[in-house]
Amino acid sequence: MAKRRTAAGQERMRIISQLARKRKEMMISVYAMKIGIYTKQLAEMFGSWFIEVIGYVLSLFNDDDQLRLASNIVLTGGPANLPGLQERVHSDLISIRPFKSFSAVSVLPNCTLSSWYGAKAWAHTDDFKKTLITKQDYDELGGDF
């Protein structure tokens, strides 16, 4: 059976390819740095990328939802451990938000594994079971389904 290709699916693949190229370039530059000495620069490099993504996501919502979302941004994963990242993301977030709007950035304790714990908890819910597709559906509709 032929895969159905939608414009949205092709756009997602284009964006993923661009991100993969950027990630590869970023990883090369990260390995070139001496992490013990340049942790501040790493936080700034990751922080600038995060704020672009956060700004784009916030722009997809109305003003009230933007305010609610910006007041509860949580950094998780290994890079959240970088010294200065939380402060950098918060200061950049303030610069892209309207004047005197509230924003908060927090880092979870044990942030390296917190995403895994969240996914583990979600896997035990009924919502997770509703999102599963069969192999037959995947073969027929493709990964864009």
CA distance 94 to 102: 8
- Tally: H helices and E strands in the chain: 7, 2
pLDDT of residue 136: 86
> What is the percent of the chain where pLDDT is above 90?
1
pLDDT of residue 129: 83
Mean pLDDT of 28-52: 55
Per-residue b or e along 8-28, where b marks 16 or more CB atoms closer than 10 Å to that residue's CB = eeeeeeeeeeeeeeeeeeeee
| Average confidence score pLDDT of the chain | 75
For the stretch 91-109, pLDDT in tens is 888 888 887 788 888 888 8
For 7-141, CATH number out of 3.10.450, 1.20.120, 1.10.3470, 3.30.420 equals: 3.30.420
pTM over 0.75: no
**Residue 70, number of CB atoms within 10 A of its CB:** 22
The closest of 95, 120, 94, 121 to 105, measured between CA atoms, is 94
With tokens 């970088």, the residue in question is 82
Domain boundaries in the chain? Answer: 7-141
